[in-house]
Amino acid sequence: MPPRALGPFTVSPIGLGCMNICHAYGVAPPPEQAEALLLAALDAGVTHFDTAALYGFGASESIVGQVLAPHRSRFTLASKCGLTHETGDGTVKPGRVIDGRPETIRATCEGSLRRLKTDVIDLYYLHRWDKAVPIEDSVGALAELVRAGKIRAIGLSEVSADTLRRAHAVHPIAALQTEYSLWTRNPEIAVLQACRDLGVSFVAFSPVGRGFLAGALPDVAAVQALPEKDIRRPMPRFAPEHFARNLPLLADYRRLAADAGCTPAQLALAWLLQQGDDILPIPGTRTVEHLHENLGAADVRLSADVLAELDALINPATVSGHRYAEQARREVDTEDFAEK
C-alpha cells in the first residue's frame, strides 16, 4: 500500500501507537522488549510513531527517545500535550490533569523535547481540549511553538467538528486523532467529514477495538481476569453485561476474516484503511509478532461485498455499551450517538 499524507509529512499507511510500551493494558513490558518492538517497527518500514506526555507520565516518550533518537531522520514523530500530571507552574498532580493553558503547553513541550532527545517534534497534538480554556488560546500557544521551531505541525485529539473548525481558523491543523474502528463509529457523525473539508489528516487510535476485534478476549471470563489497572476495566463495553452481548458478533466476524484470508486484527485494519486514503491507523502492541501481523493488513484488499457485510455486522446499532465511562465521556469533545 502506498504511503499516506499525515499533514505535511509522508508516512507509512500503518503507524505505531506507543502507549502500550509503558502502561494502559496491564503490566508494562520490560524495557528490552519495548526497545526490540520499536526497532522492529522501524526496520519493517513504519515511519509514523505516536506517543504522548501522558503515557506512563513521560515513560513512553523517554523510551522512544532513548531507542529512536539515533534514527530520528527516518520517521515522523508525534506526541501530545494538554493531558499529563504536570502543570505550567511546575506543580505535579497525583493523577492526570487536563490543562490547556498556554504556559502548561509550553512547559510540557520542553519536557517532551528532553525526553524524546530531539530538537523538534514533527506533529504535536492537544491531547484533550481543556474546556476551561478557549480552544483559540491553546492553539495559539501551539502556533507559537511552531514559530519557535519546537514543533512542525499542530494536531488535535478527541474534538468535535465545530471545535476543529474554530482551531483551524487560528492556525492550520495538520491532523485530528480520535478512536475509530468497526465498533467505534463516532467520527462518521461529523468530524471525519470536517477533516476532509479542511484537508486535515485523520489518525485512528484503538483501530482493533482495544483487542476485541483481534479476538484477544474470547469470553467474559477473560475480561474479568484483566489486570486491575487495565484501562478497559471501567469501560462500559467491557462490563460483563455488555461484553456478553458483544461476543456473538465475533463468530461471523471471524468467518469474514477467514474468507478474506487474513487474521481478525488484519480484517479490522484493512476495513479502516479502505475507508479513505486520508485515514492513518496507529495500532499499539507489545510484541514483534503482533506488530508484523498488524502491518500485514496493508496487503489485504476487501471486496465491496465484504465491506458491506462488515458494516452490517458491527456498527452503532449492534454494539452494546459506550466506549467510555461517564468521567471520560465528559473529558472529550467528540460527537456521540444517542444512548441505546
Catalytic residues: 55
Backbone Cα Rg of the chain = 19
DSSP secondary-structure letter at 128?
S
**Cell 489518525 maps to which residue?**
203
Residue 59 · residue 89 · CB < 8 Å = no
Helix/strand/coil percentages in the chain, nearest 5:
45, 15, 40
**For residues 202 and 113, what is the distance between their CA atoms, to the nearest angstrom?**
24
Residue 261: which of 301, 217, 215, 314 has the closest Cα? 301
**For residues 89 and 15, what is the distance between their CA atoms, to the nearest angstrom?**
34
Q: How far is CA 128 from CA 26, 222, 269, in A?
A: 23, 31, 25
**Cell 474470547 maps to which residue?**
218
Residue 250 · residue 45 · CB < 8 Å = no
Residue 244: how many other CB atoms lie within 10 Å: 13
